[in-house]
Amino acid sequence: MKALRITVSLLLPVVLFWSGAPGGTPVYAQYTSSAHGDSANGVNRSAMTGYARGNCAHCHEQHASVDGLEPDPVADANPSPYELFTLNFDSAVTTNTYQVQDDICFRCHDGSNTVQDPAFQNKDYSETFGCGTPAATPVVDILGAVNQLSYHNLYDIWTFVDGDDTTYPWFNSSTNPCSGCHNPHLARRNNANPRDVTFSAISLPTDHTNLFTASMNDTFGANYEPPYCTNTTDREPASSADAATGRSSTVDYVTFCTDCHTSTNTINSTPLGRNLLTIDWSAGGDKHGLRVTEGTNNARLGPYSTATPPTQGVLSCLDCHEPHGSPNITLLRRRVNGGDLTGSIATALPASFPPVTGDTNTQNKELGYLCMRCHQEDATTVNGPAPSWRDVHHNNTGRPYAASGPCSQCHPNNSPTPLPIGCDMCHFHGATDAWLGGNALNIPTF
């Protein structure tokens, strides 16, 4: 019987064909143009032999099994929410170091232990969009990224988004925290198309069912000056030819990030043991945001040193921060504005942060490695190794503090070589110099 059937089966291709659907109008384009649904580069779980790349089954098992069997990874044979092949997210894991089994995304986004065929890489923003070279300890996948010193804590995202059913009604306790920023059915291969915002990989948490493709140019126009990339001859992202190209090619990360990081939202950080700073990027908020910058000479470096800088210049969040994780604190990039940071920013901020009057000056100048990528440090080092910042605080035109006086009013010691004030005492989101108490100017200092 079987031999006969095998012979006749040769006729099958002749008689099998697709007939038009009399029912609804299917929508394929969104998923099949996504990174996961792309038939050339999409999902392809090694265990799912015979399934086309991009097929739903690489992530979803409609019956928590396939043909009655449990395909790899078999260690987790229980059915999982959303019919996923393994647990979506283990909310018992509250901090890194993450393991592949903690989040289904890591099953593939772990270049060294992936269930995806072939393995692939997701390098950090500094490299993919910021023209950087691999770090000394290269980060080549998302699992590696979030296992660095600072990272977007998945448990905190999960807690925050799930805790607001009004703003994020689509998110529930079984939802993957990565979905807070990414819609896996829509996210596109931005890393392969870094200068095309239509290849964005993100969706607004408040608009999860749409891909977010607004550019910095769309929202801020020329008020956004894309940073240098390779050197001073090109711009982010990814060696854009000029500023106009750069701002049109950069996703509007300000609108995106401030969808959660608003001036009012309380977001707890488990690793930091406190709430995150709120972000006010409006004209009434930070100077790195839309607040009108004062003065004419703030010793800014290119491309921000033009004779007539925009009065409401604004930075993109990712001009300074990595989205997933960083070897520096607070997800600060290892490369900014066309150059690598010359030192590590690894010292943790004080447990009680932000500072208040009476707090001890940290004298921590590490943050200066970031600042000096855009701001001119002292031409002549005053006290200790670079960076030092006496000129911008005391000497330059428009200086905020007196050129001379009793240094010990603010510094730990008096002249002629006062000890530095830690950058983190005054320069952070929402900062003023209020910690100086009676000596404070109470001016925005970020």
Partner 1 sequence: MLLAMGTVITEGIVHAGVSDKCSDCHTMHNSQGGQPMNFNSEATPLPLLLRETCLGCHTGVNTGAASGFGAIPKVDSSPAAPTYIWGGGGNTLAGGNFWWVGFDDALGHNVAGVDTPDSRLTTPPGWNQGAAWSGQLKCAGTNGCHGNTGVADQILALESAHHSNVSAPPDLDGTTIGTSYRFLSGALGLEDPDWEYTLSSTDHNQYVGVVSRTESNAASPATISGQCARCHGNYHNSSGSGVNEISVNGDMASPWLRHPTDYAMPLTGEFSGYLNPYNPKVPLGRLTTELGALPDDVSSVNRRVIVCVSCHVAHGSPYKSMLRWNYRAWPGADPTLNNGCQLCHTAKG
Stretch that binds partner 1, among 19-27, 97-105, 307-315, 330-338 (CB under 8 A): 19-27
361 vs 292: CA distance, rounded Å = 29
Contact in structure between 237 and 246 (CB atoms under 8 Å): yes
Q: How many residues bind partner 1 (CB under 8 A)?
A: 58
Region binding partner 1 by CB under 8 A among candidate stretches 80-88, 146-154, 249-257, 408-416: 80-88
Q: Give the integer Cα–Cα distance in Å for 429 and 421.
A: 18
User: Of the ranges 45-53, 94-102, 158-166, 415-423, which one interacts with partner 1 (CB under 8 A)?
Assistant: 45-53
Q: How far apart are CA 414 and CA 409, in angstroms?
A: 8
Confirm or reject binding of residue 417 to partner 1 (CB under 8 A): no
Indicate the residue among 56 and 440 with the shorter CB distance to partner 1: 56
Given 41, 47, 56, 93, the residue binding partner 1 (CB under 8 A): 56
Examine residue 136 and tell whether it contacts partner 1 (CB under 8 A): no
14 vs 136, beta carbon nearer partner 1: 14
Using the rule CB under 8 A, which residue among 72, 79, 163, 241 binds partner 1? 79
Asked if 74 touches partner 1 (CB under 8 A), the answer is: no
| Among the listed residues 442, 439, 425, the one whose alpha carbon sits nearest the alpha carbon of residue 365 | 425
DSSP strand E in 190-346: where? Answer: 268-269, 274-275, 325-326, 335-336, 339-340
Q: How far is the CB of 81 from partner 1 (least distance, A)?
A: 4
Q: CB 295 → partner 1: shortest distance, Å?
A: 47
By C-beta, is 63 or 397 nearer to partner 1?
Answer: 63
Asked if 92 touches partner 1 (CB under 8 A), the answer is: no
Residue 164-203 contact track with partner 1, rule CB under 8 A, x = bound:
--------x-xx-------x-xx-----------------
Q: Which residues of 12-26 are buried (b: 16+ CB within 10 A; e: fewer)?
A: eeeeeeeeeeeeeee
Q: Where are the alpha helices (DSSP H) in 22-130?
A: 29-32, 104-108, 125-128
Of the candidates 97, 210, 232, 233, which one interacts with partner 1 according to CB under 8 A? 210
Q: Does 12 bind partner 1 (CB under 8 A)?
A: yes
Q: CA 108, CA 101: separation in Å to the nearest integer?
A: 11
Instruction: Please report whether residue 75 would count as binding partner 1 according to CB under 8 A.
Output: no
The CA distance from 233 to 327, in Å, is 27
Q: How far is CA 217 from CA 247, 253, 292, 317, 401, in A?
A: 5, 11, 18, 14, 36
Residue 256 region by backbone torsions, left for phi larger than 0, else alpha for psi between -120 and 50, else beta: alpha
Residue 65 lies near partner 1 (rule: CB under 8 A): yes
Residue 80 touches partner 1, criterion: CB under 8 A: yes
* Interaction between residue 137 and partner 1 (CB under 8 A): no
Determine, following the binding rule CB under 8 A, whether residue 415 of this chain makes contact with partner 1: no
81 vs 171: CA distance, rounded Å: 13
Cα-Cα-Cα-Cα torsion 282, 284, 286, 289, nearest 10 degrees, comes to 30
Q: Is 71 in the site for partner 1 (CB under 8 A)?
A: no
Q: Contact positions toward partner 1, by CB under 8 A?
A: 1-2, 4-6, 8-9, 11-12, 15-19, 21-28, 30-32, 37, 39, 42, 50-52, 54-57, 62-69, 78-83, 172, 174-175, 183, 185-186, 208-210
